[in-house]
Amino acid sequence: MIPTSFPSKEEMARLTARMLLEIEAVHFNADEPFTLASGLPSPTYIDCRKLISYPRIRSTLMDFLTVTVMREAGFEAFDNVAGGETAGIPFGALVAERMSLPMTYVRKKPKGYGRNARIEGVMTEGQRVLLVEDLTTDGGSKLSFVDAIRETGATCGHTAVIFYYGIFEETMKTLGDHGVALHSLCTWWDVLNEAKAQGSFSEATLAEVETFLTAPRAWQDARAK
């Protein structure tokens, strides 16, 4: 059951950032940048999958995510919760449990045998589906999941994530053009602010990360050459 009283969105963002830092899910390295799925370099990396191994933090963040969705989308806005393969599956299950809704999951591609399905579980025509994932960068990876859900005859106009990069201008337009609203708990800016407050990294590292967050494409272009 979800308690009726929760912190403000700003306080939930700060606490989420604090928890991510506490379990060392946040990695900053400007000297040896990480390579993102896009192949581009980044001085930041986040591993939200670690959250499933920390029950108290996991439970708190799932409460936060559920109440955020309810506040922003409505208390009776959904009939089904779908987790995206693979990182979104445990979080989808936890949110579905809190919302007392059926849970399903969406494969990245058909499994290639049997029913060749992308949707696992029961999803029916006309259901209003909430897509749950661990994070989003530019929003592009969500579209395939949304399309798979819509192919069943269900609707999907909302996706909820723990972490949203919050630095790529095209994200909201990409999702919005596809008819999808994004709900999230915190961004890189929230993590950077909390890291500064805690002194979690050196000042030089934090300064380089801030340079990246302010102009990520320019930072990547300079490093990719």
Q: What is the pLDDT of residues 154-172, one digit of tens each?
A: 999 999 999 999 998 889 9
Instruction: Tell me which DSSP letter residue 4 carries.
Output: S
For residue 49, which amino acid is it?
R
pLDDT given for residue 2 in this prediction: 59
Residue 53 CA to its chain's centroid (Å): 17
Whole-model pTM: value is 0.94
Q: Is 42 helix (H, G, I), strand (E, B) or coil?
A: strand
**Taking the CB of residue 222, how many other CB atoms lie within 10 A of it?**
11
Gap between the Cα atoms of 217 and 194, Å rounded? 24
pLDDT given for residue 37 in this prediction: 72
Mean pLDDT of 92-118: 89
Look at residue 49 and tell me whether its pLDDT is greater than 80: yes
- What's the mean pLDDT when you consider all of the chain? 93
Q: What is the pLDDT of residues 173-214, one digit of tens each?
A: 999 999 999 999 999 999 999 999 999 999 999 999 999 999
How many helical (H) and strand (E) elements, i.e. helices and strands, does the chain have? 8, 10
83 forms bridges with which residues in the sheet?
105, 132
CA angle 31, 32, 37 (to 5 degrees): 135
pLDDT given for residue 169 in this prediction: 85
**Residue ranges of domains in the chain, CATH in brackets:** 9-214 (3.40.50.2020)
Q: What is the pLDDT of residues 10-33, one digit of tens each?
A: 999 999 999 999 999 999 998 899
Q: What is the pLDDT of residues 55-88, one digit of tens each?
A: 999 999 999 999 999 999 999 999 999 999 999 9
**Cβ 90 vs Cβ 48: under 8 Å:** no
Band of the pLDDT at 114, cuts 50, 70, 90?
A: low
pLDDT given for residue 138 in this prediction: 85
Q: Is 30 helix (H, G, I), strand (E, B) or coil?
A: coil
pLDDT given for residue 14 in this prediction: 98
